[in-house]
Structure 1
Amino acid sequence: MPSGIWKTSWKSGPAARGTGPGSSVVVSITEYSTHRPWGTPAVAFEGMRLRRSRPRTPGAVALRLWRDPGPRPDRSGSVIVRTDEASLMRFVARPDHLRIVRAFRGRGTMRSALRETALGAPRAGFPQAAGPALAPLRADAERIPTGGVPWN
């Protein structure tokens, strides 16, 4: 991501230990653009609160939050790696996640991309926080919010 985008470090989930080269995973990339610039910090704060419990949920492989404070529109979002789509849907249906979605409905625009992929061999130079097999996947997923790869 370009230097203007702030991002958290990758946080591993319980499924990261059993995920290696050749494993099939689902990557969810989300972006929330606020209608007004003062809304982005509140959305980012709520994401950080969810970040504490999100990786402990079953099927969580890795998570990274990001925020682009400008120029307009202000944006924030996440890159979530899960073992399968059912695991992702269980997270999306959690009451704490639904509370945040409802709280910010109508205050901005949300878009997301969902990719299923198999993990490849690790590349040198990437941290191993979420397992070395995730390094190529993380690099690809981070290009979507920057416009380096199309959302669709």
Structure 2
Amino acid sequence: MHTKSFSDGTVLMPWNPGPNDQRPGPVFVSVTDFLAGSEAEARDIYTAGLELGRTWPVMQGAVGLWLWGRPAEFRGGSISVWESERDMRRFVRWPVHTEIMRAWRGRVGIGLDSWRAEHFDAHDILTRAGDTIDRPHRHAA
């Protein structure tokens, strides 16, 4: 389902469907971008992302997810698609996710983008997400 050519050096993992993979109608998209300070931190972040990705098939409100990385830049993150913003926020408040974010707070730069789409279109979502990922990363304040 990869239809967007990201810049060289970007690795896009295969689509990881959620329980609402075939959902018609509007969706909410969230792009996260983590900037680690070292190769070791980047590996730890990728590992945490992969572990969270294993829960995806049962995540309430999840349409699906792509994980992405730019190993040479110590960057990576996710492109997640939800039924609604409320579903995404429920995931953000999930204790497992909260614990991971608390552990990394202040240690990594975080970039975010999100939007509502009238329907799921992988090409459109990956194009906009790619534009977000291709922008120079700025450390979170």
The alignment's TM-score, normalised by the length of structure 1, stands at: 0.78
The superposition leaves residues 17-73 of structure 1 with CA deviations (integer Å, 9 ceiling, x where unpaired) of 222xxx1111000001012332101001000000010342111111011111124xx
| Counterpart pick for 1:8 among 8, 13, 17 | 13
2:124 is the alignment partner of 1:136: yes
SS of 2:106's equivalent? coil
- Distance in 2, matches of 1:93 and 1:32, equals 18
- Distance in 2, matches of 1:134 and 1:56, equals 21
- Distance in 1, matches of 2:102 and 2:70, equals 22
- Distance in 1, matches of 2:67 and 2:57, equals 12
Residue ranges of structure 1 left out of the alignment (5+ in a row): 121-132
1:96: how far off? 1.1
TM-aligned CA distance change 1:55 to 1:113, over 3 Å: farther
Residue ranges of structure 2 left out of the alignment (5+ in a row): 1-5, 137-141
Q: Is the 8 A contact 2:34 2:110 kept in 1?
A: yes
- Distance in 2, matches of 1:92 and 1:67, equals 20
- Distance in 2, matches of 1:142 and 1:48, equals 20
Match of 1:127 in 2: none
2:44 is the alignment partner of 1:42: yes
Match of 2:3 in 1: none
Q: What is the percent sequence identity of the aligned residues?
A: 27
SS of 2:35's equivalent? strand
The amino acid across from 2:58 in the alignment is: R
Give the number of the structure whose alpha-carbon radius of gyration is greater.
1
Match of 2:34 in 1: 32
2:94 is the alignment partner of 1:94: yes
| Counterpart pick for 1:58 among 57, 60, 76 | 60
How many residue pairs get aligned? The number is: 131
Q: Is the 8 A contact 1:35 1:107 kept in 2?
A: yes
Q: Is the 8 A contact 2:17 2:56 kept in 1?
A: no
The amino acid across from 2:12 in the alignment is: K
1:137: how far off? 2.2
Aligned-residue CA RMSD in angstroms?
1.8
- Distance in 2, matches of 1:38 and 1:16, equals 33
The amino acid across from 2:8 in the alignment is: S
The alignment's TM-score, normalised by the length of structure 2, stands at: 0.84
SS of 1:107's equivalent? coil
